Structure 1
């Protein structure tokens, strides 16, 4: 029988959430594994490893989302035992449920819970974006958002049937072609005089990054909400969303993304901002 996802109006994932002394929320790995119907934690550690790899590929620091910790577990008759475990951020939980056994109903429910809650958190974070004053700060913020959402998009595409690296490259090209008036990744590189080794996203200004972020988030939502299946349908969905974003830009009188100027590498911008931060003064040795 499938595990009930809600009790007393609260999601079971909400019930097992913890909060530290600084107000940061987290989940314990062993408790989450039980909730996701994994009877053997050793099997669940494989899922955690896949999620950690996805986190790394998204440009995030794994240590910010996955921390070794001890966890007290009930072993029966009121007794408890302390085991090695992990503290997980909401983002890491999201990646875990994306890599967990899809045949488990509670896993599918967990995917919905963490996807929705992560999106709410992201909307709240946009307040921080609105307070940024410089183009460099906005670029870095949006580039980080793109890294995160490309992970979500890749998971949604995989669920739709986009399986290997070549499939995903083709899928991504359809999104670019819709947004860039027929230009694929290679065409964008040529149009903007970028080298093959240069990442397109790393040389976008904030306006272009925002358009691509909208493309990625809307495609992910459409793939999931409409339960789209099959590589061809996924590709077509990405193409259509890209075209709609392009049409929106046109309707508001904006500049088409292929005509926006190439920006300096985001890495050099980050180094420049880091150099401006005041250095911490080390205490004098006695």
Structure 2
């Protein structure tokens, strides 16, 4: 997500934050707009899912989702009372978790409400970490899909591994998968992708997607032909990166994706304990 998008979303969410007795909260109808939901009935379904998640986590729903009423302006300059819900940070986090992650605002909200500080630079760092994990998950899916397509064309597991390694050699300037693992000090038992930076993970995923499409469109058969296609696609992706002064094999190793995932999940699990309850003063 671009920095300017994060900046604008951060401002939007900050502008809607409220406080009562030292406890910060957001109103559901304002959060609905922030998260890009046009109709309340659709957003209300997301809130219901969030309440179920809250209960399953052993938290009291009424501590985090508090029914309130507020007056809204009508077109005739009159006012009408509507039902709303005051939401703690934890409630907002659960709503974001159950929202549509394809929406930029929802993806941002998952991070914004997961961290205890609202400083933009720390949220940007956390967003980058989540983006890397999502990219890693997508690479796993594209690799699995490619494996299935190749299996239908007579490529067994060893053959699939050889094709991937040849693709890596094309992407990393001649360095095979094993060569890159040695270069980045990746343990033999771990996948190389778990230690690659986001840009390289996305590059591998993009090459997989192209190969997958080309194998289907051209009905490629057998290891030699499919291998040539995958090498070409990785070489083309490498060319695109190097033209922008990004040399994949020269990028430093990133934090172990499994370790990063555990850390982020651990922080999220602490959120309900660290979030003050609505209607109770913070001690």
TM-score normalised by the chain length of structure 1:
0.51
Q: Which residue of 1 aligns with 2:255?
A: 264
Unmatched segments (≥5 aa) in structure 2: 1-43, 47-100, 112-123, 274-283
The CA deviation string for residues 208-265 of structure 1, in whole angstroms up to 9 with x for no partner, is 11111111111111111111111110111111101000011122x1321111110111
Q: Contact 1:180–1:258 (CA<8 Å) still a contact in 2?
A: yes
Structure 1 partner of 2:141? 148
- TM-aligned CA distance change 1:130 to 1:228, over 3 Å: farther
Residue of structure 2 in register with 1:250 after alignment = 242
Q: Which of 198, 218, 221 is 2:213 aligned to?
A: 221
Offset at 1:22?
A: 5.9
Q: For 2:143 and 2:224, how far apart are their aligned partners in 1? A: 19
Aligned match for 1:166, one of 120, 142, 158: 158
Using the TM superposition, give the Cα deviation of residue 160 of structure 1 relative to its aligned residue in structure 2, in angstroms. Answer: 3.1
Q: Is the 8 A contact 1:160 1:234 kept in 2?
A: no
Rate the CA distance shift 1:222–1:192 in 2: closer, same or farther, 3 A.
same
In structure 2, C-alpha distance between the alignment counterparts of 1:137 and 1:205, rounded to whole Å:
12
Distance in 2 (CA, whole Å) between partners of 1:203 and 1:139 is 10
Greater relative contact order (Cα 8 A, min sep 6): structure 1 or 2?
Answer: 2
Distance in 2 between the 1:147 and 1:187 partners? 21
The residue that corresponds to 1:3 in the other structure is none
Q: Distance in 2 between matches of 1:173 and 1:234?
A: 13
Match of 1:199 among 178, 191, 203: 191
Match of 1:125 among 93, 102, 120: 102
The CA deviation at 1:280 is 4.0
CA distance in 1, matches of 2:203, 2:271: 35
Equivalent residue in structure 1 for 2:169, among 173, 177, 191: 177
Once the two structures are TM-superposed, the CA of residue 154 in structure 1 deviates from its matched residue by 0.6
Shift of 1:138: 1.0
**TM-score, normalised to structure 2's length?**
0.51
Inter-CA distance 221–259: structure 2 relative to 1 (3 Å threshold): same
Q: How far apart are 1:126 and its partner, in Å?
A: 7.9
Cross-structure match for 1:210 = 202
SS at 1:183 equivalent: coil
Change (3 A) 1:259 1:165: same
Matches of 1:153 and 1:159, distance apart in 2: 10
> Helix, strand or coil: the match of 1:193?
coil
For the residues of structure 2 that align with 1:126 and 1:241, how far apart are their CA atoms? 30
SS at match of 2:249: helix
Two-structure CA RMSD over aligned residues (Å): 2.6
In the alignment, the residues of structure 2 paired with residue 208 and residue 256 of structure 1 have an alpha-carbon distance, to the nearest angstrom, of: 9
Unpaired segments of 5 or more residues in structure 1?
A: 1-20, 24-123, 282-286
Compared CA separation, residues 270 and 152, structure 1 to 2 (3 A): same
Label 1:205 to 1:268 Cα distance change in 2 as closer, same or farther (>3 A): same
